[in-house]
Structure 1
């Protein structure tokens, strides 16, 4: 169940008149269409065992869920300036059609179908703004880019940073506004809840993280709290704040608010800890020029396996995240490291409800037998680990330091997702060859990845993960690593697949190391379209779920156990 509270600050600047929207000729048909869209998300009871948590920790957990709800409302505002007004209108419509619109609006975090090219599904909704609500709605990308380029330091770095928005000043020019000012009312409330949770927990590192994250909400300086999150060692594993930059389709600069609240699975966390020990070994063997490798990765590389209790904001829009690698701040990664969080109950649900049925439809009879949860789970882990490897800090064209994210701009997210996917396969093969992983995984990981690639394509090819997967699939088809049969099924050609994985890993990372936006754009234009054979598979899969719709039953249990 999605809990979305409308923010208290009134929305300004966009006028939406629902009274002027023509009445639908056939509201029943429109309701049925929306029900079909909602049916793409299979309802799943998302549960985590909290019975072993002391009462004070359960109380802290409840405070974190409340804070997460505030960030959900903030994310709505970040997506589009008109979201809050539209939500208020939808809440007043008690008809079956209004209820269906509201439910899908909350699922998609706005009036656009993210899995279908961001097509509006509510009459009166404009085209989804590529700059989201991070920039003035009357500004152009060129105007903002020119303004940023003309700023002196440190203002230019702040403008390209995660935690500012661009607004009009009183003279009609552009100005920077920090998140702590733009979202001040909500962040004060969220910070208060984090402080209350910190006062309840008896776990030292959790208390430290919550106190520092509360301070970051008010100061706009997230470094210390990011480090505290990396050092977190507690039964409760919260990730709460502004992180991913997918919504900023202009520049991939700005971070969106999200929250993932989970409880740690100690047994699975211990099992996966060994992967962190091999990261420098993998970095030293990346299929790129030795000079482009990082001779010393950040010291911290914790891996946590959790069961999700609650998710909100950017972590709960449309397709649910199965894992993540954070923080994204290049300074933190360089100086301290990064953490990978695997959500086991989410992944188990995705595998059971989505991947297995899709594999039966998309793969050859021989290959579908090799699809396994172990390979699915392990590749997702390696995907997240590989986000932290390869080029990050690079020299700019003027010789000054920059980052891959800033250099590739709008190409960054799709390119980075493709890199993490394909290099994750490369890394798994290296560990299989080294004897650190079972030899059987060397086969099952390829066919499981192929099945999962169709799952990712169904997220929508305008979305970063889907576009990145198009790049990979087209490249693998071109190199003969994947074969499409006349009967519409796909299969893996192992040796060609393996060679193509190594080649594509090196190609993407070399482009990232050069900060070559033109080459990245050209590669996405060449390979970033849905292959016709894959399109036919997706057409046959129309009645299969695209993803899951988590119902957070543990939150209900949490309320009853207070």
Structure 2
């Protein structure tokens, strides 16, 4: 053990446009690092190099790639500010290199795979609102605050000199940074051979400067034939666990796998038919999913910001804008190389320990890929607007919306697999998909209570246990009861879709409180996996050097 005195300063990370309220210093505290735990913490992650076949790119696309990676990399600093505040003030006071590495992985001093538990003594609990709101602001104060844009995805809440609340647009808070990103995207657009990609990059560049993202979202939906792609901007709202309002900056740089994508393109056409067959009353499936949806496979060559923190995303379903979804659907991007990393290094080792020996052969990469893919497709099913005039599901369920939506996508993804398998559209044994799904619960529940995906998996695990969808053997392994799992799947789908359609915040809170927990017995199983040195997630070797492009 050693003690380090740290002056914690809630300093805004950026230049002259900083909010003066955030510059006020707070009391000096003693920070104590448990250095003996750092090696164990770092062991939760296994490294994996992100590469791809660059020969599929044109000369201009190869020139664009460094520009897109540079633009993506700038999302790291923006997300650091959103998640924590002043990174440099924190890092300058930590001398142990392992601790610094773990801080970098978590974008702050809270362990994202352990319920956001602070791993540096002297650092308090992570604010539910991260750095989007004043730390001491109450929900009642926010609700009483009169502002047209207080719940916008793209505003910070800060205080005036008199203590009253105010909003600051992202493009004002990050003025110099977003100008740099915009310039890089424009520079890249000039090299774009693909008209759709060129249009998207131009519109996305503009969006960074005014926080008007819908036009670029629509343009991104219209892209069909480009090989090189980038997802960039303030996108997901997982980090805001106070209200679920604020979007976090992130980026993925992607190269399309044309062969695998060709295999997948047919599935989006089944969305309207599958929507009609959902196991819920008609009122909750009255919306018609957009049919302009895209389903493709990619190699991801760069992660940055929110998607690079803690547990890493292996599939994308965007845009989140409900108007865009109803008009055009969404694009579902399967990150095949990252998915393979998690399957080989985490899923298979878990199944060898936790799944009944007679069922282990049913855990396959093809089933893992399909389950993950249809999870993303299933985001397009169900309902986006409540049936009782409470507004959108996302706004009605506030900070609970993300966990329930992830739970919906998981369970409806399996429903889609089962339906398409019956139609003969998916090959293989249905037991592959269900057993792999069960093993996947153990993989994802290890993300912890701070993760929307972790909460969703806990709810499903406890619901399945209650419905006897699996049994636990005397040797500690789990055996899937396939018929009962199928019944439980339908019942849980009905519950989630009804809660969403009703905008039932209290009902969701009750579900999370009762079933979004890790029991003592389950925790013992998870501890056993850790004792067997099975990593929880991956960290990436990435960038120009990993791609062999460093000059």
Distance 1:464 1:186 in 2: 29
Distance 2:548 2:26 in 1: 39
Residue 328 of structure 1, CA deviation: 0.9
Distance 1:533 1:492 in 2: 18
Secondary structure at the counterpart of residue 394 of structure 1: coil
Could you say which residue in structure 1 is the equivalent of 2:417?
428
Could you say which residue in structure 2 is the equivalent of 1:27?
none
Q: Tell me: CA distance 1:61–1:88, structure 2 relative to 1, closer, same or farther (3 Å).
A: farther
- 1:417 and 2:421 equivalent? no
Residue 7 of structure 1, CA deviation: 5.4
- List runs of 5+ in structure 1 lacking aligned partners: 1-5, 25-29
Q: Tell me: CA distance 1:114–1:524, structure 2 relative to 1, closer, same or farther (3 Å).
A: same
- 1:189-208 aligned within 5 A: 189-208=180-199
Cα deviation, 1:28-80, whole Å, max 9, x if unaligned, reads xx434212111111111221111332332122111111111111100000012
Could you say which residue in structure 2 is the equivalent of 1:329?
321
Asked whether the equivalents of residues 171 and 208 of structure 2 are also in contact (C-alpha less than 8 Å), the reply is yes
Residue 395 of structure 1, CA deviation: 4.5
- 1:238 and 2:230 equivalent? yes
TM-score normalised by length of structure 1? 0.91
- 1:101-250 aligned within 5 A: 101-147=99-145, 150-151=146-147, 155=148, 158-232=149-223, 233-250=225-242
Residue 346 of structure 1, CA deviation: 0.1
Could you say which residue in structure 2 is the equivalent of 1:343?
335
Asked whether the equivalents of residues 358 and 455 of structure 1 are also in contact (C-alpha less than 8 Å), the reply is yes
Distance 1:472 1:255 in 2: 26
Distance 2:499 2:193 in 1: 47
Within the candidate set 481, 500, 512, 2:469 is matched to: 481
Within the candidate set 488, 493, 506, 1:518 is matched to: 506
Could you say which residue in structure 1 is the equivalent of 2:79?
75
Could you say which residue in structure 2 is the equivalent of 1:385?
377
Q: What is the alpha-carbon root mean square deviation over aligned residues?
A: 1.9
Asked whether the equivalents of residues 14 and 82 of structure 1 are also in contact (C-alpha less than 8 Å), the reply is no
- List runs of 5+ in structure 2 lacking aligned partners: 1-11
Distance 2:246 2:471 in 1: 39
Could you say which residue in structure 2 is the equivalent of 1:454?
442
Q: Tell me: CA distance 1:51–1:389, structure 2 relative to 1, closer, same or farther (3 Å).
A: same
Cα deviation, 1:89-118, whole Å, max 9, x if unaligned, reads 44xx3xxx2x11111111111111111121
Distance 1:186 1:554 in 2: 21
Within the candidate set 235, 251, 258, 1:259 is matched to: 251
Asked whether the equivalents of residues 470 and 531 of structure 1 are also in contact (C-alpha less than 8 Å), the reply is no
Within the candidate set 514, 519, 538, 1:548 is matched to: 538
Residue 558 of structure 1, CA deviation: 5.1
Residue 287 of structure 1, CA deviation: 0.9
Asked whether the equivalents of residues 58 and 558 of structure 1 are also in contact (C-alpha less than 8 Å), the reply is no
Q: Tell me: CA distance 1:127–1:14, structure 2 relative to 1, closer, same or farther (3 Å).
A: farther
Asked whether the equivalents of residues 396 and 504 of structure 2 are also in contact (C-alpha less than 8 Å), the reply is yes
